[in-house]
Structure 1
Amino acid sequence: MMIFTGHTPQGEPRECTYGGPTVEACFSTLNLLVNDGWQLDTANLPESATHAVWLPIKAFDGRSMTKQLQKLERSWQEALIIW
């Protein structure tokens, strides 16, 4: 699940939650919203009732992150093989 705040293309403030099937789906949703004219203010991935991972809003510029995430995943897999 992801929680985010922002403004619609019409400038209306919103606080939203999205329960995408994967973290990648959550990231894609944020990029789609930005591409549609939303301005994001905050976004986080709650880990527990008291802790969340805050996402860097500037990373969501409306462009797909799929290739970058796949590259990061391969790097981590290679690092784990070494250990």
Structure 2
Amino acid sequence: MRPGIHPVSRPVVFRDRAAGVAFLTRSTAGSPHTVAWEDGNTYPVIDVEISSASHPFHTGSARVVDTAGRVERFARRYGSASQARR
């Protein structure tokens, strides 16, 4: 890597306020706010609206789409394949 062109990566805490979960990871993002972490060190903290702890896809609370009703409605409207061959 060429020196002087890459941003500085440092430990940062991402805090999901909705789920009450915090993650310590590395990031180039910074923040003027800090938080004391479990290891006793102080890290910049970035509050996020949604993370893997609160996202519907990852938590299993995603909406299930009823495709059976759509197929039946299509068959009623356009007929089934067996009727089309006659």
Give the TM-score, by structure 1 length: 0.24
Higher helix share: 1
Which fold has the larger relative contact order, with Cα–Cα distance below 8 Å and residues 6 or more apart in sequence? 1
Q: TM-score, normalised to structure 2's length?
A: 0.24
Structure number with greater Rg is 2
